[in-house]
Copies of this chain bind each other. A is one copy, B any other.
Amino acid sequence: MLYIGVDLGGTDIKVGVVSEKGEILSKVSAPTLRERPYQAVVADIASLCKLAAEKAGVKMEDIAAIGAGVPGICKGGMIAFCTNLFWRDIPFVQELHKYVSQPVYIDNDATVAGYAESIAGVSAGTQSSVFLTLGTGVGGGIVLHGRPYSGAHGIGSEIGHMILKMDGEPCTCGNNGCLERYASATAIIREGRRALEKEPGSLMMEKCGADPEKLDAKMVIDCAKAGDPTAKRVFDAYVHAVAASIVSIINILDPQVIVLGGGVSKAGEFLLNAVREAVEPMIFMKGMPYTRIELAKLGADAGMIGAALLGHVE
């Protein structure tokens, strides 16, 4: 069976034909131009679907279903809420059905990325997994019983807004101490800058060209790798927060695998090993088998693959 996956982002729309095993047969993209009415964006998505099919050398009739991953909250064919696109209560499925006859599915982008990993990525073959995108914010994707899980009202899986430190750092959501205030790239940068105020002699100062405003998460991690003690402290605190988040997820959901994706996960084994080491002594039931922790494998295409596979099985 063949599927089309749509990765609808604030900047670009990526569309591809994907096999039921998660292989990409073709890929096309176009700018989202989000200032336009949603109807225009959806019309472009329909055109991109046809283009992707053409590029893969298949007919639209050969496509079993179309799925879209969107940076927001989906419920019953509607995009209830999508900050990046300024969309609210958009009848996405109905609109796309003006152009295509296939079943159309939509879900949150982090959720479908996690779903992709569970079919064609590092958690392939598992029935339960949690995907964490450690990026500017922290996104979450939950797969339970082999299917994406978004909760009873479509507002679950927002793991970045689990409260990790009650009354801690203020969050954009209005609460305090959300996980993403401690486990995101943004958190590394914030703490790196704070550390530079006290310890301007750190290697990080050199890396950012003596302009802490230019400090990014990669610089902090690279300096930690290079052995700079200030950067190492920032990195260790970050790892501690990620580990505490993972322990909370294990104590609630106990999935087979937790997958780390997003920009920060590009730190690779250096991050993974540190996180695994920090999690182990925090496990509630010592000595019992627990969740594997792994790095995401599918990279930037995960969203498109997972979206495509939403129609698989259903």
Contacts from A to B (Cβ < 8 Å): 73, 80-81, 126-128, 140, 142, 144-145, 150-159, 161-168, 173-175, 177, 182, 240-241, 244-245, 247-256, 281-282, 284-285, 288-291
Contact = CB atoms under 8 A, between A and B. Distances in A.
Contacts of A80: 285, 288
A128 B153 contact: no
Contact of A291 (B152, B281, B282, B288): B152
Contact of A168 (B145, B166, B288): B166
Contacts of A164: 163, 166
In this complex, which of A150, A164, A240 has the most chain B Cβ atoms within 10 angstroms of its Cβ? A164
A92 B127 CA distance: 27
List 6 tightest A-B contacts by C-beta distance, closest first.
Answer: A151-B254, A156-B254, A152-B256, A158-B251, A165-B166, A162-B248
Contacts of A166: 164-165, 168, 177, 182, 240-241, 244
B165 A165 contact: yes
A196 to B, nearest CB: 22
Given A163-B164, A163-B248, A253 B156 contact: yes
Contacts of A245: 163
A187 to B, nearest CB: 12
A217 B126 CA distance: 44
Contact of A284 (B167, B173, B249, B291): B173
Contacts of A157: 252, 254
A80 to B, nearest CB: 6
Given A73-B288, A80-B285, A144-B144, A252 B163 contact: no
A253 to B, nearest CB: 5
Contact of A156 (B145, B161, B251): B251
A163 B73 CA distance: 25
B73 A153 contact: no
14 contacts: A151-B255, A152-B256, A152-B291, A153-B290, A155-B290, A156-B250, A156-B251, A157-B252, A158-B252, A159-B252, A165-B166, A165-B168, A166-B241, A175-B244
